[in-house]
Structure 1
């Protein structure tokens, strides 16, 4: 059976989507591809290189984000595309923020993002650009990791919002009635259950406005 690095990456992504990174092994991947495990080492040296291939395949999806004439719209499109890709492949969040992603598609996404942000009025020099890119990446990575963690927790424990409220509601009610946490009480009682996508967009815009104005 003919193999290629792209085919191996695609099969590995399918396995990770179902079983997570912990359920991904060379043996399982070889079985999925119908070859012996040693055959894969003709294409990838080790697990780290396999993960690099998988990550760059996801960046290829992110790189498909629409490019706009206005820098701001381009930045928003890239980060929303990043969120979509991460929620489609939750394991991707586990690899965000670790070692640098330097595959060709990852570099292309980084280039598009930095080139767009370099057009922001507040960017006067390379130091400004570096700080802005770093601040946005920190927000996006943190937001996506939190959203994926919440989804995993709900899925593995069967704990949806209603169940959580029934379980912890009595305790939280007692604590809030002490009057020691008035602001937390307002958040719990008056705060709406926000839509994750809308929240991500709102917070992204808020941060983008703050660091580029």
Structure 2
């Protein structure tokens, strides 16, 4: 039986009250502070001041704990708006905001579908908004938006982590690498790239995400209108 349907053990107030919800909240707090490497059944049990074996009454593996954590934060992804485009945009935007609050989520996106109640509720709202679209196109449409969001937020989180690791923000990194690029451009072999870097708009993360998302939604809309 999957963890979503498995009943919890009877409540035991001594030595400390425990529930699946408390376990997940504690794991999320640890991950928010120090990443997924800070999350293990042993570390969560220590934070809750209980023995590690006691957690096995509530979940069987660390993978189940990660599934529960993902589903818990998906409660923050709230589809809103009227029509498929507005709903897909809201899901994309709130997914990004959720990942920026919980950086570890970027490492768990993608792969096999999550089956928790909050993920399923989000999926239901999105698919319902696509009512009337050819049923064979619904999942490819959702998949296209998901693929864009996952790629965009993973890149954004990777840049955050690189900044912390190197101690260089984006402008400092550009200044440090500028002389190298100038030498490369001086060879004349990278004229197209040089023009874009010198003359193109330098958008911030929000602008970049919104523009790319618009490209994806425009493409979907054009295809559905055929």
Structure 1 portions without partners, runs of 5+: none
Aligned residue for 2:52?
A: 37
Instruction: Identify the match of residue 181 of structure 2 among 128, 153, 172.
Output: 172
* 2:124 is the alignment partner of 1:115: no
Query: More displaced, 79-88 or 69-78?
Result: 69-78
Match runs of 1:125-136 below 5 Å: 125-136=134-145
Aligned residue for 1:88?
A: 101
Aligned residue for 2:116?
A: 103
Which contiguous aligned blocks of 4+ residues in structure 1 show a shift greater than 6 angstroms?
none
TM-score by length of 2: 0.87
Number of residues paired by the alignment? 207
Post-superposition shift, 1:79? 1.2
CA distance in 2, matches of 1:107, 1:195: 32
CA distance in 2, matches of 1:60, 1:161: 32
Instruction: Identify the match of residue 79 of structure 1 among 84, 92, 99.
Output: 92
RMSD: 1.4
CA distance in 1, matches of 2:183, 2:64: 52
Post-superposition shift, 1:130? 2.0
Query: More displaced, 10-19 or 180-189?
Result: 180-189
Post-superposition shift, 1:193? 2.9
Post-superposition shift, 1:40? 0.8
CA distance in 1, matches of 2:107, 2:170: 24
CA distance in 2, matches of 1:176, 1:114: 48
TM-score by length of 1: 0.92
Post-superposition shift, 1:60? 1.1
Post-superposition shift, 1:71? 2.7
Q: Are the equivalent residues in 2 in contact too, given 1:132–1:212 (CA < 8 A)?
A: no
Structure 2 portions without partners, runs of 5+: 1-15
Post-superposition shift, 1:73? 1.6
Residues 99-155 of structure 1 show CA distances to partners (whole Å, capped at 9, x for unaligned) of 221101101111112222345xxx3x2111122111111111111111111111111
Q: Which has the larger radius of gyration?
A: 2
CA distance in 2, matches of 1:16, 1:210: 36
